[in-house]
Amino acid sequence: MSNNCGCHQNPPSSGPAPVKHDYSKAQALTAILNPGNQKKVLLYQTLTVNGTLGYEYATFSPDQSVKSQGYNQGVVGNYDEQPSPLSPVTKWGSNIVSMVMDGVVNVYGVSAHTNSMCLLSPVYQPLKLAEVDKNLNSKIAGCTNGQGQAWLYFQKSDGGKTGYIYEKSLTKLNEKPTKLVITKDAKLDTDIVAFYDGRRRWIAYQTWMDGDDDDESYSQIQIVCLDDESAKDHYMQGSKTVLDKELIELAATSAVKNGKELIYIYFRGQASNLYWSAAELTKNGAKFSTPENLKQIKMDRRSSLAVLPHDEGIVVYGIKKSGDGIEAFLDPFVFK
């Protein structure tokens, strides 16, 4: 990409240094299969030493062993303690997303230097008109329709306990982000997942509902279709009983079960337990199953989740509670 294409901003030659954070306490990650070789996986992650982007290229298997970070340890990246703005530091508490566009894996995140969404890989390039809310962790999500169009999603605060989610087109970069008015109940600092079902775009996020004199406030997971008003938005039934009102991490993937293509959503719920729920996306919407608890698996409360489908189940990437780093483990029960 040219720096003078008009749709992207030039990288900053200087700027305020990001506040020093411990990135091991809020590690971002995203996993994606190599579009040219589905037996290989790219595991992108923020480096704990400085918050810049690193990645591991590995064989995709249900018993995959994830490499450790550090020079000569298997995770490639810039391990300088004070990297330059051209090796951007990601915003602490945010996350990273990956998608295939025109056959190339693109990774997006939020720059701590500019407080804006940017392309992190295959090259660094800030996006125009993509500033996020400086007072939020700025979780983002993204999806593509496989036909040259792609979108990013992020949240802005409205001054209360909720905030609208916005959509940023990656094919109309000179346009301002669009407010998604249907997301008015999105919990502040919610994680977001986005996916495309072959016809329509969907997002899922955590809600917040204030209680009245008789009812307590509560939170649950909502799934919204962005392209078809006849496909009603849905709450994940049972999710509010396993959420403890704290912010959660979300991850989503599609997989075929019994000849049907299903969307699986994984999330961290009460007591750091890991849950999953699945739905077939029909013309009338989505009805997600009651969340299932992956017993004896507890996840770190601030690090991201990533999931990929395998013939034997769903491979989950994340940091377990009290874990030293990212691990991969198989959830075989979703296919039984």
Domain spanning 23-335 has what CATH number? Answer: 2.120.10.70
Q: What is the DSSP string of 277-335?
A: EEEEEETTEE-PPPPEEEEEEEB-SSS--EEEEETTEEEEEE-BTT-SS-EEEEEGGGG
When comparing pLDDT for 3 and 113, which is higher?
113
Q: pLDDT value at position 266?
A: 97
CA distance 155 to 170: 17
Q: How many CB atoms lie within 10 A of CB 12?
A: 15
With bands split at pLDDT 50, 70 and 90, how would you rate the model's confidence at 88?
very high
Q: pLDDT value at position 284?
A: 81
Residue 7, pLDDT above cutoff 80? no
Q: Is the dihedral of CA 217, 193, 97, 328 positive or negative?
A: positive
Does pTM surpass 0.75?
yes
Q: Do residues 98 and 87 make contact, with C-beta atoms less than 8 angstroms apart?
A: no
CA distance 53 to 44: 7
Q: pLDDT value at position 336?
A: 72
pLDDT in tens, 121-162: 999 999 999 999 999 999 999 999 999 999 999 999 988 999
Q: Considering only CA atoms, which of 23, 21, 18, 20 is closest in space to residue 46? A: 23
Collect all residues with Cβ–Cβ distance below 8 Å to 126 and sequence separation of at least 6. 8, 9, 10, 11, 12, 111, 114, 116, 118, 119
Q: Where are the domains of the chain?
A: 23-335
CA distance 56 to 317: 13
Q: pLDDT value at position 302?
A: 81
Q: Do residues 208 and 185 make contact, with C-beta atoms less than 8 angstroms apart?
A: yes
pLDDT in tens, 44-73: 999 999 999 999 999 999 989 999 998 888
**DSSP class of 69:** P
